[in-house]
Structure 1
C-alpha cells in the first residue's frame, strides 16, 4: 500500500532542488535628505524607491546533505525560504531535478517550517500527529495505517517520553521536533526550516540538528536558516549558503568555506569561529573582496552544479483531501477536545457566569415586582446586557487570536477547507454560549423576582442568547485581524456607540436628529426594548407598591416616561436575529480575508 502517495522512478534516489536568478524587491520610502538652500534647509523628502531583498541569487541543495543558510539579520534568509516554498512570489526559476516547480505544485512538494510554528496547545503530542495524519495523508489510506505513521514519527524524532504530554507543556526542543514531525507526515522530499534552533539551549539545539541530519541521511533535502551557530554546531552541517544584503557570498561545502574566503584575501584567524567570521565578512558590504565574491557567484552557472538533473524524479501525488463531511467531524472533535482542556473556555466562563449571576441577583434581590424600585429594576436590564457583552466579546477576542495562527498554518498547507473549520467553530461555540446564558439569566431572573411565567423567562433567555451571540461574533471578527492590545482598544471604542444609542442612558427622543440613524444600528437597543416588552408588557399586571405612594405603580405611565417607541417584541427579535445572522456570515468572510492575506 502506497501510504504517502509518492512514486519515484529513476536510476537512483539522489535528486537536487535548485533555484536560478531569484529576485525579490519591495517599495519603501527613501531616506530623508536635507536641502542646501536656506528655505529648504529643514525640508525632508521621502520618495518611494525599490529595494532588493534578494538580488539575482541562485543555488542548489542536494538530497542526503544538511544545508545551513546563514547571514546577518535582514540579509534575506527568511524571504528566500518563503520564496522557495511557494509562500511568497518572486522572479526566478525553481526546479526539482530539472523539472520547474511553481504555484500549488511547489507548495505541495516542499514543506516550510516557520520560525514560530503555531500548534494546538491543548492536544497531546500523539493527538497532534494523529489529527495531522488524518488531514495530510491520502484519504485512501486506512485509519490504522495513518496511526502507525504518526507513531513512527514519534519514534523517529525521539518524542516517546512526551507522547502523552500536552503541547503547551513541551520543552522548546520537543516543540521544535514536533513541528518537524508534522511536516514529515506528508513525506516531503524537500524540507525548509526557518531558525529551528532559535530559543533553544545548546543541548536541545544539538538534538534538533542531529534529527535533521538523520532525516537528510534518509534521502531528503534538509535546509535550515540558523542564527549565529557555534563552530561545533556549524560542523554538524554538510553545506552552507551565505547571504548578505540579498546576495549570495558562498554556496558549497562547509569545509571549503574558509579556503574560499582566503582565495580573495579574507583570512580567518586560527582562533576564530568560522561562523562568526562568515558573518563578519557578510557585514563588509562595500569591501572589494566581498563584491568580488558576489559577482563570482552571480556569474556561476547553477546547472553546472546539477549533474544529476538528468535523472528525472517523477512525483505522482495521489493525495486527495478527505471529504468535507469528514473534515467537519474531525475539526469538531478536535475543537471540542481543545475547548474542554482550556480552563478559560468552560471552567472560567462558567464560574464567571455563576459569580456574576449571584452578585447581580443579590444586589437587585427581590425588586422585580416592586413599583418603588422600578428604576433600579430597569438598570438591572443594562447590567445583564453589558455583562453578557463583555464576557462574550472578551473570551472570543482573547482565545481566537491564539488559535487562528494554528488554523492559518494548516489551511495554507491545504489540510482542510475553510467552511468545515468555520462550521466546526460555530458548532462548538453555541453550546458554551447556551450554557453560560442559561446560568446567568436563570440566576438573575429568580433572585430578582421577575414575573414567574415560563413564556416571559423564555423570551428573556432568547433575547440574552441572541445578544450574546452577536457579541461573540463581534469578538471573533476582531480576533481575526488584530492583536490583543488592539482588540481591547477597538472593543472599548465600539462599546460606546452601541451603548449610547441603545436608549439605556439617554432616551431616544433626546438624541439629536443627525444621530438618530445610529439608534437603528445599535443591537443593544433591540435587546433593551425586548427586555422592557417582556418584563413590563405582554399584558402584565401593575407592580406591587410596598410604600404609601409609588409614582410608577402604573406600568403604562412608566413606559410613557421612558419615551420608547411602540414596543414590538417580534420586531426586536427579528432585528436581533438579522444582526446575529449578519455577524455570523461576517465572521466567515473575515476568516476568508484573513486566509487570503496569508497567501
Structure 2
C-alpha cells in the first residue's frame, strides 16, 4: 500500500484537442485496497483528495484507473444539464440625478456550458461580480441584453429554482451543528414528496462525499475555513442544482484548502453541472484546473476560451508571457495596462473570434454519455469516458439526465418539479424555521443567559435603590421615578441586542431566500414568534424582582396589569430594534437606535406634563410608545380606586393616589387604551419592518 496511485479526470469528447487529461498522484492512507474512489474530503498534509470507499455509481466524471467506475451522488434528484448563453449584456448603476449612469458591463457576450468549471477573472472593478450576479438573476434593474438557458429565453423565477449562489462570506448560523444544518436544508428544499428516510440518505451521502461526516456533530462556529466552505456547498447540493455560482470560493483559504475546494468544484462540474465562479488571481496550480476562462477588463471581455489557449492568444497579439510567469498574473498585468493600453485591442480580437474559444468546437449532445465506443484496452466505454454498463446494470447518465425523455425541452425539467412557489408549504417552512430559531436562541449564551442575568441583576439593583417605597405617600415621586426607570430599562435592553445580532441573521436570510429555501413571510413570522417567549421571560423576571422588592401593592390583578404593560413595552422596543437592524448596518443602527429614542422618552410624560407643552407640540406624546407604557403602569399601580397610602411624615400631599395621577396629568387615563395602543404599535412596527425587508430584497436586484 506504499505505492502511489494515479487518478485522472476523464474529459468529455468536446474537450479533446483543447484540454489534456489532468493527472493527480496521491499517497493513499493506510488500509486502502482496490475499489476505493476519490471523494472531495480533505487529506493529510499534501492538500489532495482523501480516498474513500464509495458505491460504484457515485460521481460521474472522476474515474479510478484501477476500477473504471464513475462516482455519482446516487440518491440526489435527477437534473438535466444547463447551458447559459448571454448576448449583449449591459448593466448600469445610477450615480445621482446630475451625474447620470455608470456602465459597468458593456455589451458582453459568452456561453458557459455544463460539465465545465468556468472562471470569471479580471482586475478589481472589471465587473466580475456584476456579471455573475446578472447571470444568477440577482441583478435585474438597469440590465439589458439577453440571457438564454439551453437556447430558450431565461425565465427568472424558474432559473432561480434550478441554480444556487454561494457567496464569498460563508453565511452560516453559528450555533447549529453540521448535521442539523443539513437536515434543515433537506427538509426545506426536498419537499413533502421525499420521505424522512430518503432525506437522511441524501444528507449522509453528501456529508460523506464532501468529507464532513466526521464533523457532523460540530457546531459551524467551530469549523475551519475549508470546512465552512464545503458545508456551504453541501447545503445547496441537497436538491442537486444543475447551475452553481461561487463568489471568490478560495477567499480566505490556504493553498491546500484552495486546491481541495477547486477539486471539489471540478468534481461537481464533471457530474454534469454548470459551475461558474469568480476568482481574482489564482496560483498557477489552481489556474490550470479550470476548463473555461472568461476574462473582463473595464466591463468588456478580453478573452474567453480554454486555459491552454490563453498564452497563444496573447502571443498572437504581441503580449508574450515569460516561461517562468504565471499566466493568470500576466493577463492581469495586461488587463491593468502595465504593458500599454491594450484593452480595446483585446476586445476587438475577441469579437473577431481570434481566441481559442470553446464556442468554435462542436458542442456535445446532452446525451453523449449514451454513445458506446471501445477504449484502447478493448473495454466498452461511453464517449465521455464513463464505462458502459454490464448486463443488467443501469445506464449511467451525466447529472441524472434521462436522454430518452428529452428533459432539456420540457418545462418540467426547468421547473424542477415545482410549478409555483417553494418546495415546501408556507406552514411547514414556518414550523422548521421556528424550531431552528428556538434552537439557535437556546444555544446562544450571550443572547439568552446574559440577557436573563442582566434583567435579574438590574432588577435587584433597582429594587435595592427603591426598596420598600411603593406604599409610602411621602415617596410617590421617587416611586414614579422607579417606574419610569423600569420602563426605560426594558426599552433599551430589548432594542439594542436586536440591533446588534439581527444583521447576522439578515445575511443568512438573504442567502437562503435568494437560493429559494423559503419565503419572506415564513421567515418573518417565525422570527416574530420566536422573539416573544425570551423577551417576555426577561421582562417577567425583571418586573417580579422589582415589584416585590419595592413593596408595590400586593394585589394579583395589579401585578398582572403591571407585568402586561412592561412586556408590551419591551416587545414594541424589540420590534423597533428589528426595524432598525433590518434597514441599517450595525454601525448606523447603534447610532440611530438610541438617537431615535430620545424624543420618544422626552414626550413620555415623566419629564414634562402634557398640558405644559405648547399647543403645536401636544400631538407628539401620542406617537411615543414609552408614554403609553409609563402611563399604563402608573394607572395600574395608583388607579382603579386604590386606597389611601401610608404616610411616614407629618404631612403627605399625595396621600390620595388619585390626586397624584391628576398631578401627573393622568387622572383621566384608561389602562385598556394604553394596552391597545401598545399592541397597535407592535403590529404597526412589525408590518413596517416586513416592507423594509421586501424593499431590501428588491434593492439587492
Q: Is there any run of 5+ residues in structure 2 with no aligned partner, and where?
A: 1-72, 367-405
**Structure 2 CA distance for partners of 1:584 and 1:25, relative to 1, 3 Å:** closer
Q: Secondary structure at the match of 1:243?
A: strand
Matched, 1:26 2:93: yes
1:325 to 411, 418, 427: 427
RMSD: 2.3
Instruction: Give 1:517 shift.
Output: 0.5
Flag the structure with more relative contact order, 1 or 2, with Cα contacts below 8 A and sequence separation at least 6.
1
For residues 362-511 of structure 1, the aligned pairs below 5 Å read 362-511=464-613
Contact 2:85–2:148, Cα closer than 8 Å, also in 1? yes
Rounded to whole Å, the distance in 1 between the matches of 2:105 and 2:530 is: 45
Contact 1:26–1:50, Cα closer than 8 Å, also in 2? yes
For residues 32-431 of structure 1, the aligned pairs below 5 Å read 47-89=98-140, 90-284=143-337, 287=340, 289-300=342-353, 304-305=359-360, 307-308=362-363, 313-314=408-409, 315-316=413-414, 317-319=416-418, 321-431=423-533
Contact 2:302–2:343, Cα closer than 8 Å, also in 1? yes
**Structure 2 CA distance for partners of 1:51 and 1:7, relative to 1, 3 Å:** closer
- 1:479-518 deviation digits (Å, cap 9, x = unpaired): 1111112112211121111111111111112111111100
Residue of structure 2 in register with 1:33 after alignment: none
Rounded to whole Å, the distance in 2 between the matches of 1:548 and 1:141 is: 79
Residue of structure 2 in register with 1:37 after alignment: none
Q: TM-score, normalised by structure 1?
A: 0.91
Residue of structure 2 in register with 1:43 after alignment: none
Q: Secondary structure at the match of 1:250?
A: strand
Contact 2:631–2:669, Cα closer than 8 Å, also in 1? yes
Q: Secondary structure at the match of 2:345?
A: helix
Matched, 1:592 2:592: no
Rounded to whole Å, the distance in 2 between the matches of 1:556 and 1:414 is: 58
Rounded to whole Å, the distance in 2 between the matches of 1:303 and 1:227 is: 22
Contact 1:228–1:276, Cα closer than 8 Å, also in 2? yes
Q: Secondary structure at the match of 2:363?
A: helix
Rounded to whole Å, the distance in 1 between the matches of 2:511 and 2:309 is: 37
Higher deviation after alignment, 89-98 or 443-452: 89-98
Rounded to whole Å, the distance in 2 between the matches of 1:111 and 1:556 is: 64
Rounded to whole Å, the distance in 2 between the matches of 1:415 and 1:60 is: 28
Matched, 1:544 2:646: yes
Contact 1:97–1:309, Cα closer than 8 Å, also in 2? no
Rounded to whole Å, the distance in 1 between the matches of 2:95 and 2:664 is: 57
Q: Secondary structure at the match of 2:323?
A: coil
Q: How many residues align?
A: 578
Rounded to whole Å, the distance in 2 between the matches of 1:526 and 1:182 is: 46
- 1:223-257 deviation digits (Å, cap 9, x = unpaired): 21112112222122233221111111111111221
Rounded to whole Å, the distance in 1 between the matches of 2:677 and 2:432 is: 34
Instruction: Give 1:299 shift.
Output: 3.8
Rounded to whole Å, the distance in 2 between the matches of 1:321 and 1:218 is: 23
Matched, 1:566 2:668: yes
Q: Secondary structure at the match of 1:115?
A: coil
- 1:114-159 deviation digits (Å, cap 9, x = unpaired): 2223222221111111111111124311122122112222122221
Instruction: Give 1:452 shift.
Output: 0.3
Q: Secondary structure at the match of 2:204?
A: helix
Rounded to whole Å, the distance in 2 between the matches of 1:116 and 1:136 is: 22
Contact 1:98–1:310, Cα closer than 8 Å, also in 2? no
Rounded to whole Å, the distance in 2 between the matches of 1:188 and 1:213 is: 15
